[in-house]
C-alpha cells in the first residue's frame, strides 16, 4: 500500500502558493508546486538531506523540483542538475544497448554466453572464470538480461565482505568484473530459465558478453549509441575512482565522500551492474524515449517487457530485460541504490507520464511509493 504522508494544511498552502509563480518557463506552476509539496513532506518525514524529482509528460515537457541540501556540511542546497550515482537504474541502459546489438544482428537473445566467453571470450583468463559459472553451458543472453540464469550474487558473500573491508582500510582498490563474478557460489540457485534471483554479477557477465561480441568497450558503446544521440549529456560514467561533480551522500548520517573524494567501495567497480551518475531529468528523458520507441524499436521494447521468468506467486509483476514490469506493462521502471543514495524511475503507459526521484541518503526507503504518489498528483 502506498503511504500517504500528512502535510499540515497551512504548510501545504504556503508551499503551493510560494511556487505557483516560480516555475521556470515551459513548466506548469501548478504541477511543480504539487511535486515540490510532496518532496518537502517526504523529506521531512524520512529525514533526508535532500530530495528531488522530475516528471516528463507525453508532449516532452519536464517538470523538476528539488528540496533540502546537497551538502549538509557546506549548507549547499540541492538542485536539479548535480549528479548522484544512480545505482541499478543503469541496468536499463545495459539492457537497451543489448537490444540495439540484437537489432544489429551482433547478438541474439538465444546466444549462449559461452559462445562469447569461451574460446572467443578474450583468452584463457576469460575462459577460466566463465567456465566456473553455475549453468555455464546453458546460460543465454536472455537469461542474463532477466536475472533468470540461476546465478547468485556477490554482495552478501563473506569473501566479498572481507575483501571489501580490507580494501576500505587501505583506502581504495577497484574490483575487476571477473573478481566480483568470482565471489558468487558455484552452485546453481535453480535451473536456467526456471526462476528469478536479482544479481549484479549476472549483469557483469552480460557486460563481458557485450564487449566480447563487439570488440568495443561498454562505456564507449553506451556513449555512442544512447547517451550522445539522445542528448543525455548530464549522465556521467563511473569509470574512475573519484567521481566528478556529484553531491555527497549519507549513510546513517555519515558522509560517504572522504576528503580526497574517494568512497569506501570504488564506484568504478559497479560497471554494467549500474555504473552511471545521473539526475532525475536525465532518467525521465531516457525512459520517455525508450517508451516512445526512440531508443530501441517497439518490437524490442515489447521483448524487454515480456521477457523473464513469470513468478506464479506474483502474477502482477515480473522482471523483464532490465526493467521491473507491472501489470503486463501498464507501468515499468527500476530502482537503484548506491551507498549514500537512492534512486527510482517509473513510466506509466496509460498516461504517458514518467517520474524519477533521487535522494542523497540510503537505507530502507520506499522510493517507489514516492514515485507513485507524484505520478498520481499531476495531469498529463
pLDDT in tens, 314-328: 999 999 999 999 999
Average pLDDT of the chain, as a whole number: 90
pLDDT score recorded for residue 164: 87
Over 70: is that where the pLDDT of 125 sits? Answer: no
Over 90: is that where the pLDDT of 64 sits? Answer: yes
- Distances in whole angstroms, Cα of residue 287 to Cα of each of 158, 294, 311, 364, 374: 36, 10, 25, 25, 16
Least confidently predicted of 173-177, 196-200, 221-225, 238-242: 173-177
Least confidently predicted of 21-30, 193-202, 313-322: 21-30
pLDDT band with cut points at 50, 70 and 90 for residue 127: low
pLDDT score recorded for residue 167: 81
- Cβ count near 207 (within 10 Å): 23
186 φ, ψ (degrees, to nearest 5): -80, -5
**Among the residues of the chain, which ranges form H helices?**
9-20, 29-46, 90-104, 113-117, 124-131, 141-145, 158-169, 177-182, 200-214, 218-222, 280-291, 298-306, 367-377
pLDDT band with cut points at 50, 70 and 90 for residue 131: confident
pLDDT score recorded for residue 166: 85
What own/partner pairs with CB < 8 Å and gap ≥ 24 does 332-337 have?
332/305, 333/287, 333/368, 333/371, 334/88, 334/89, 334/91, 334/92, 335/87, 335/88, 335/89, 335/367, 335/368, 336/85, 336/86, 336/87, 336/88, 336/89, 336/90, 336/274, 337/87, 337/88, 337/362
Q: What is the percent of the chain with per-residue pLDDT over 90, rounded to a whole number?
A: 81
Average pLDDT over residues 94-106: 98
Cα 23 from Cα 336, distance rounded (Å): 28
pLDDT band with cut points at 50, 70 and 90 for residue 222: very high
Q: Which helix (H) or strand (E) holds 344?
A: strand 341-348
Cα 194 from Cα 74, distance rounded (Å): 51
21-35, 55-69, 249-263, range with greatest mean pLDDT: 55-69
* Angle at which helices 367-377 and 29-46 cross, to 10°: 160
**Among the residues of 105-217, which ranges form H helices?**
113-117, 124-131, 141-145, 158-169, 177-182, 200-214
pLDDT band with cut points at 50, 70 and 90 for residue 171: low
- Cβ count near 338 (within 10 Å): 25
pLDDT score recorded for residue 126: 53
Which among 354, 344, 349 is positioned nearest to 378, based on CA atoms?
354
Least confidently predicted of 156-170, 207-221, 277-291: 156-170
Model pTM?
A: 0.91
Q: Which three cell numbers stand for residue 111?
A: 546466444
- The sign of the CA dihedral 286, 293, 227, 174 is positive
| pLDDT tens digits for range 259-306 | 889 998 899 999 999 999 999 999 999 999 999 999 999 999 999 999
Q: How many Cα atoms are found within 13 Å in the side-chain-facing hemisphere of 13? A: 2
Least confidently predicted of 70-74, 89-93, 213-217, 375-379: 375-379
pLDDT score recorded for residue 173: 76
Over 50: is that where the pLDDT of 311 sits? Answer: yes
pLDDT score recorded for residue 184: 94
Amino acid at each position: 500500500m502506498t503511504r500517504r504522508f500528512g502535510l499540515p494544511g497551512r504548510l501545504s498552502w504556503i508551499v503551493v502558493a510560494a511556487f505557483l509563480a516560480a516555475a521556470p518557463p515551459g513548466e506548469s506552476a501548478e504541477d511543480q508546486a504539487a511535486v515540490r509539496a510532496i518532496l518537502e513532506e517526504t523529506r521531512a518525514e524520512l529525514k533526508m538531506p535532500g530530495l528531488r524529482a522530475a516528471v516528463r509528460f507525453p508532449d516532452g515537457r519536464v517538470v523538476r523540483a528539488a528540496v533540502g541540501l546537497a551538502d549538509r556540511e557546506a549548507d549547499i542546497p540541492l538542485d536539479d542538475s548535480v549528479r548522484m550515482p544512480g545505482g541499478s537504474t543503469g541496468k536499463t541502459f545495459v539492457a537497451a544497448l543489448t537490444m540495439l546489438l540484437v537489432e544489429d544482428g551482433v547478438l541474439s537473445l538465444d546466444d549462449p554466453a559461452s559462445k562469447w566467453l569461451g574460446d572467443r571470450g578474450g583468452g584463457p583468463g576469460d575462459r577460466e572464470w566463465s567456465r566456473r559459472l553455475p549453468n555455464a553451458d546453458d546460460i543465454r543472453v536472455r537469461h542474463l538480461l532477466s536475472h533468470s540464469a540461476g546465478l547468485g550474487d556477490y554482495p552478501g558473500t563473506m569473501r566479498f565482505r572481507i575483501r571489501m573491508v580490507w580494501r576500505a582500510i587501505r583506502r581504495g582498490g577497484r574490483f575487476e568484473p571477473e573478481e566480483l563474478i568470482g565471489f558468487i557460489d558455484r552452485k546453481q540457485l535453480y535451473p536456467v530459465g526456471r526462476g528469478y534471483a536479482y544479481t549484479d554479477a549476472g549483469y557483469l557477465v552480460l557486460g563481458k558478453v557485450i564487449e566480447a561480441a563487439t570488440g568495443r568497450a561498454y562505456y564507449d558503446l553506451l556513449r555512442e549509441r544512447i547517451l550522445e544521440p539522445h542528448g543525455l549529456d548530464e549522465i556521467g560514467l563511473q569509470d574512475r575512482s573519484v567521481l566528478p561533480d556529484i553531491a555527497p551522500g549519507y549513510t546513517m548520517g555519515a558522509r560517504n565522500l572522504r576528503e580526497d573524494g574517494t568512497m569506501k567501495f570504488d564506484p568504478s567497480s559497479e560497471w554494467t551492474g549500474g555504473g552511471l551518475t545521473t539526475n532525475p531529468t536525465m532518467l525521465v528523458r531516457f525512459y520517455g524515449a525508450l517508451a516512445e520507441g526512440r531508443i530501441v524499436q517497439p518490437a524490442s521494447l515489447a521483448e524487454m517487457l515480456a521477457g523473464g521468468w513469470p513468478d506464479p506467486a506474483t502474477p502482477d509483476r515480473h522482471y523483464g530485460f532490465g526493467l521491473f514490469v507491472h501489470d503486463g506493462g501498464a507501468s515499468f521502471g527500476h530502482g537503484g541504490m548506491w551507498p549514500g543514495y537512492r534512486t527510482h524511475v517509473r513510466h506509466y503507459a496509460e498516461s504517458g507520464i514518467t517520474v524519477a526521484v533521487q535522494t542523497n541518503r540510503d537505507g530502507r526507503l520506499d522510493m517507489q511509493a514516492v514515485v507513485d504518489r507524484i505520478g498520481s498528483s499531476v495531469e498529463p
